[in-house]
Chain A
Amino acid sequence: MTSAPAIICQGLTRKFGSFTAVDSISFEVAQGEVFGFLGANGAGKTTAIRMLTGLLQPTGGQAWVAGHDVYSEVEAVKRSIGYMSQRFSLYDDLTVRENIEFYGGIYGLRKTELHQKSGDLIERLDMEAEANSMIRSLPLGWRQKIAFSVAVLHEPAIVFLDEPTGGVDPITRRQFWDLIYEKAAQGVTVFVTTHYMDEAEYCDRVSIMVDGRIEALGSPAELKKGHGVDSINDLFVLLARGGKRGDA
């Protein structure tokens, strides 16, 4: 394991016509770090993530994900990362096992390896009884846990999580974060966005985007001390209130 940063952004920018969604953001994420990427709706978070996962090409600046250039090595980027979003991750009309096998197959896992990992995953999540149930019959929290496990099945160096716990009950939310910590302990870099400010505190470092720019970057403790607030929630409100995009 080298010590090169997992993610490097330098002046990363994305314009849509005359509108600048992401305005020259720069930061680095170390390997094995749990990095919280926060920001209000419309602040540019989703656009930034899309650029880092190879779904959208930047219009300015540079970025490297897992050592690969996001402009010229997009396919390599995609192979090196895992991705999970709130809106969709798994197929409703396939069973738990079928979903695992499908995604494993896409990422090139061999049959025996896949079989082994599939069994391990189901055991870790305590879902032996539900392995052959349709995803749509399971509660949201369980689906999200499976989705996360599937996203890291092919052992990527980095996993991107886009609001993975929205609407999930408080206990399952915390179990989800247990899964995140397990992976981080194994050296996987976790890049997560969330609206739950208490989850921001679980991260090693946090960045807050306002109007396309990064207005805060650092560990939760540093940021709170530096801005004289008690919680990341207070910091967020402080910074977001200054934002103009939230007005319309």
Chain B
Amino acid sequence: MTAVDIKALEKRFGKTAALEPVTFSVAEGELFGLIGPDGAGKTTLFRMLATLVLPTGGTATVDGLDVVRDYRELRNRLGYMPGRFALYQDLTVAENLKFFASIFGATIESNYEMIRDIYGQLEPFRDRRAGALSGGMKQKLALSCALIHRPRVLLLDEPTTGVDAVSRLEFWDVLTRLRDSGLTILVSTPYMDEAARCDRVALIQDGHILEINTPTGIEDSYPLPLLSVKSSDRLTAKRALERFPFAYSVYPFGEELHFTDSRAEPSVSEIKTWLHEAGVADAEVTVIRAGIEDVFMHRMPTVEGQTGVA
């Protein structure tokens, strides 16, 4: 059963396209991630699905309802968490929750099951003003407010931005449990590592969808061999690899370098020799599996003069 069905949905402002025509669907009970940097078009897409912005082309249905025609009914069934966790800073945790429950004609008691997981951690702070909460707590409160009316589809726009690493992990645990209980969830995020926790993922950049697949599928789609190069002198290694005749791309990845060879069957020893001759004696070169970020960078449309060999 499809929860979200999008066909050639697009948004233009005058001549500029915030979102080029996009087509994909999300199944019921799926945890779907929209991965891309700032300005990629994630928020534009979410706002159209949330019935907040009119598309300039294409159609979309959420839970079987058209986002343009049936927006009023659809708003009863959606849970929406916009970026910047829109909460009433001068109301307490409990007051915020009560308010959002009431405007949907729900009560906290009737739907407590849904938010029990998350709200449990907020309970001790129920009388604290939302403005005085930490980023991680605000995030949990905003999620609770979006869930309190038992929506059928949840739209979360960059819920982990500006939140510390630990809270991010906990948040994704919560999302996974919600998905397991049958809720359809669409999440957008700029963090590539979060893609791994989704059922399926759409990579988006500059208003274009680069690819849609399961995380594994995306990783599999990397077209060339990828090697990890570790050494004590990363800078020299990087420069050496950039000069390598078969180099396709060289990117730093934490303590490693990700080197993509333009041949189908690269030789590890050849590369090691090359590095050795450049003065890098202790290089560890291993063939690795591509990650989401590798694929993203590979697929990104690059601007003239700013090539992949950075």
Contacts and interface: CB of A to CB of B under 8 A. Distances in A.
Contact flag (A, B; Cβ within 8 A): yes
Interface of A: 40-42, 126, 139-141, 167-171, 174-175, 177-178, 181, 195, 197-198, 200-202, 220-221, 231-233, 236-237, 240-241, 245-248
Contacts of A181: 235
Contacts of A167: 37-38, 161, 190
B306 A175 contact: yes
Contacts of B137: 247-248
B253 A198 contact: yes
Given A247-B134, A248-B128, A240 B164 contact: yes
Q: Across the A-B interface, give the 6 residue pairs with the lowest CB-CB distance, nearest first.
A: A40-B164, A167-B38, A169-B37, A201-B254, A198-B254, A201-B255
Contacts of A171: 251, 297, 300, 302, 306, 308, 310
Nearest to B234: A202
A142 to B, nearest CB: 9
A15 B293 CA distance: 41
B266 interface: no
B165 A237 contact: yes
Interface string B150-165: 0000000000011111
A228 B205 CA distance: 37
B1 interface: no
A42 B165 contact: no
Residue among B134, B137, B255 with most chain A CB within 10 A: B255
B167 interface: yes
B131 to A, nearest CB: 13
A139 B36 CA distance: 14
B57 interface: no
A140 B37 contact: yes
7 contacts: A41-B162, A169-B37, A170-B37, A171-B302, A195-B164, A198-B252, A248-B133
Contacts of A139: 39
Contacts, number: 90
Given A171-B310, A178-B310, A197-B165, A245 B254 contact: no
Contacts of A247: 134, 137
Nearest to A238: B166
B37 A168 contact: yes
Interface in B134-175: 134-137, 161-167, 169
Contacts of A221: 255
A247 B121 CA distance: 9
B80 interface: no
A245 B164 CA distance: 11
B94 interface: no
A174 B39 contact: no
Interface in B165-210: 165-167, 169, 190, 192, 205
Nearest to B132: A248
A195 B252 contact: no
Given A41-B135, A167-B190, A169-B300, A220 B169 contact: no
Nearest to B292: A170
B125 interface: yes
Nearest to B16: A137
Nearest to B136: A246
A197 B310 CA distance: 20
A246 B166 CA distance: 9
B161 A41 contact: no
A116 B251 CA distance: 31
